[in-house]
């Protein structure tokens, strides 16, 4: 079983993003220290050596330093430590671990059906939390009927989890205050969105949980950018929430691993609002959760096979088949991740309406030297996904057209980009003015075209002066007006340049004042 669990985790398709994406290396670093901590905790539970406990605590701190998402593991860490205390009333830890109560399917399905109906017909997501609490109360009452007392284990777990959650949030805030001198406020903005509409926030979280649970069992198709999800994932999220409630009532190792997997997922749920990261949902967020869930399933299947040894051969064949299929899917996905071009081609194909993806794809094509394909992709992206205020692709494709001496096409491209937004960027206007200047030097253009270019140049220079605070560019405008004999206009430009010049730049100030005096004398 340990070999099967290790193989399934190593070839699971969901791990490819964290492994291949260098920017996601913090997931690998965090997971390394979390798994070391987990191994030390398991040794502590069996060997009773405090040295392993100290090592586990230090490893969890290192995991938090690698990535803040490790707080999910730290919150659930006491659940593992409680297993030792709970096992003291039995003959041994393994007895307590492998003798969990049987799964009561009818109450679970009834609670799930009731929560689904509430979500579909009332549009009040908070009712799902109420139903989950009622389901927990039912499980506690059933335990009271069997044992004559309420389960202390569940109550202690709830108190510990609430205390650890409060402590970890406080630690998170304090660490960010100490480490970061400034903040863009995205986390605060997300918290405000969450508190503004609790009902909507619960729905968002349920959908995210449902998506990630689905991705664990059925990871295909894999996608680097997931911005929106099907509302039906809320129903799967409802099932997962009730499963979490059920796992809280079981004090064995497999149930604890399952809870730890969900706790590792919890820090990624606020990302669904799309304010913290560039994508609302990402497969790498369940990289470590998948490890805990595979461990939980492995322990549960092992316990099931112990009392049904006749099925062991079938379990081996099924595991081999799953590893083969998962290995093939992972190998294919790794091939897509080999180059930026192939990765972004796949991403754009799955999410064609997001312009930022097209821009990244165009940049990857240009970097790879595939200029013709980049130009085709630019035309296609412009037809289905307007660029908005982002003119990065316009500048790069325009530069390609200029290099190929296709000046008219480049100028038309720049004009379209300038007209697209009310306030064009300084880079776009600079590129347009530079191209117009180059085109004016072409000798075989007509007088009408030359006049049009002059008017266009003046228009773009005025636009640039309205948004720029660069004194050198303002000086350039003044020099052009001075050479054209527009002395009053030149003085106006030099005044703007003086007002934009730093007081410490004495040399530039003297130069501007000299040109201003020269304009005044000629005037």
The domains of the chain are located at 2-338, 469-523
Give dist(CA 403, CA 374) in Å, integer.
14
Are 259 and 244 in contact by the 8 Å Cβ rule? The answer is yes
Q: Among 84-98, 114-128, 339-353, where is mean pLDDT lowest?
A: 84-98
The predicted model gives 491-506 an average pLDDT of: 69
Between residues 289 and 180, which one has the greater pLDDT?
289
pLDDT recorded at residue 164: 87
The predicted model gives 99-109 an average pLDDT of: 65
First-to-last alpha carbon distance for the chain, in angstroms, is: 92
> pLDDT of 316-375, one tens digit each?
899 999 999 999 999 999 999 999 999 999 999 998 888 888 889 999 999 888 999 999
Give dist(CA 164, CA 81) in Å, integer.
13
pLDDT recorded at residue 123: 79
Number of DSSP helices (H) and strands (E) in the chain, helices first? 25, 0
Are 201 and 194 in contact by the 8 Å Cβ rule? The answer is yes
Are 51 and 41 in contact by the 8 Å Cβ rule? The answer is no
pLDDT recorded at residue 29: 93
Q: CA-CA distances (angstroms) from residue 507 to 270, 469, 491, 515?
A: 52, 18, 18, 13
pLDDT recorded at residue 63: 93
pLDDT recorded at residue 361: 92
Q: Is the pLDDT of residue 90 over 80?
A: no
pLDDT recorded at residue 94: 42
Q: What residues contact residue 174 under an 8 Å CB cut-off, 6+ apart?
A: none
Q: Is the pLDDT of residue 101 over 60?
A: no
Q: Helical H runs in 67-220? A: 71-87, 93-97, 105-122, 126-147, 152-179, 186-196, 198-217
Give dist(CA 288, CA 290) in Å, integer.
5
The predicted model scores a pTM of 0.81
pLDDT recorded at residue 458: 78
Q: Among 122-131, 344-353, 407-416, 435-444, where is mean pLDDT lowest?
A: 435-444
Q: Is the pLDDT of residue 199 over 80?
A: yes
Label residue 387 by pLDDT band (50, 70, 90). Answer: low
pLDDT recorded at residue 98: 38
The length of the chain, given as a count of residues: 523
Q: Is the pLDDT of residue 415 over 90?
A: no
């Amino acid at each position: 079983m340990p070999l099967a669990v290790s193989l399934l985790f190593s070839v699971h398709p969901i791990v490819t993003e964290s492994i291949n994406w260098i920017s996601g290396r913090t997931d690998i670093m965090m997971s390394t220290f979390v798994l070391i901590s987990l191994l030390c905790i398991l040794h502590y539970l069996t060997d009773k050596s405090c040295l392993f406990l100290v090592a586990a605590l230090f490893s969890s701190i290192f995991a938090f330093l690698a990535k803040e998402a490790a707080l999910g593991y730290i919150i659930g860490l006491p659940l593992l430590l409680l297993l030792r205390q709970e096992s003291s009333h039995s003959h041994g830890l393994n007895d307590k671990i492998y003798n969990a109560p049987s799964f009561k399917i009818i109450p679970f399905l009834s609670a799930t059906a009731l929560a689904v109906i509430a979500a579909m017909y009332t549009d009040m997501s908070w009712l799902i939390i109420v139903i989950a609490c009622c389901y927990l109360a039912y499980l506690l009452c059933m335990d009271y009927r069997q044992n004559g007392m309420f389960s202390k284990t569940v109550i202690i777990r709830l108190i510990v989890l609430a205390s650890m959650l409060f402590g970890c949030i406080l630690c998170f805030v304090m660490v960010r205050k100490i480490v970061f001198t400034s903040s863009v406020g995205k986390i605060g903005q997300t918290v405000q969105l969450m508190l503004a509409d609790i009902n909507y926030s619960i729905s968002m979280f349920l959908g995210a949980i449902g998506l990630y649970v689905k991705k664990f069992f059925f990871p295909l198709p894999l996608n680097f950018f997931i911005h929106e999800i099907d509302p039906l994932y809320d129903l799967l999220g409802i099932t997962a929430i009730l499963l979490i409630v059920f796992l809280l009532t079981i004090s064995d190792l497999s149930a604890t691993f399952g809870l730890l997997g969900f706790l590792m997922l919890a820090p990624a749920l606020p990302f669904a609002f799309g304010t913290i990261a560039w994508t609302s949902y990402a497969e790498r967020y369940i990289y470590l959760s998948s490890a805990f869930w595979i461990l939980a399933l492995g322990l549960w299947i092992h316990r099931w096979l112990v009392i049904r040894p006749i099925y062991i051969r079938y379990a081996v064949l099924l595991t081999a088949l799953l590893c083969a299929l998962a290995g093939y899917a992972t190998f294919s996905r790794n091939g897509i991740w080999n180059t930026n071009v192939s990765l972004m081609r796949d991403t754009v194909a799955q999410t064609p309406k997001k312009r930022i993806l097209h821009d990244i794809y165009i940049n990857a094509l240009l970097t790879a030297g595939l200029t013709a394909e980049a130009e085709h992709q630019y035309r296609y992206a412009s037809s289905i996904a307007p660029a908005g205020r982002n003119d990065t692709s316009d500048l790069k494709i325009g530069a390609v057209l200029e290099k190929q001496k296709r000046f008219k096409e480049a100028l038309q491209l720049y004009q379209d980009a300038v007209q697209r937004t009310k306030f064009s960027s300084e880079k776009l206007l600079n590129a347009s003015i530079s191209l117009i200047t180059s085109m004016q030097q072409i000798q075989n253009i007509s007088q009408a075209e030359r006049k049009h270019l002059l008017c266009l140049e003046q228009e773009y220079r005025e636009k640039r002066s309205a948004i720029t605070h660069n004194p050198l560019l303002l000086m350039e405008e003044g020099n052009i007006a001075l050479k054209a004999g527009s002395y009053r206009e030149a003085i106006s430009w030099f005044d703007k340049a003086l007002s934009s010049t730093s007081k410490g730049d004495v040399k530039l100030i003297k130069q501007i004042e000299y040109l201003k005096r020269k304009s005044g004398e000629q005037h």
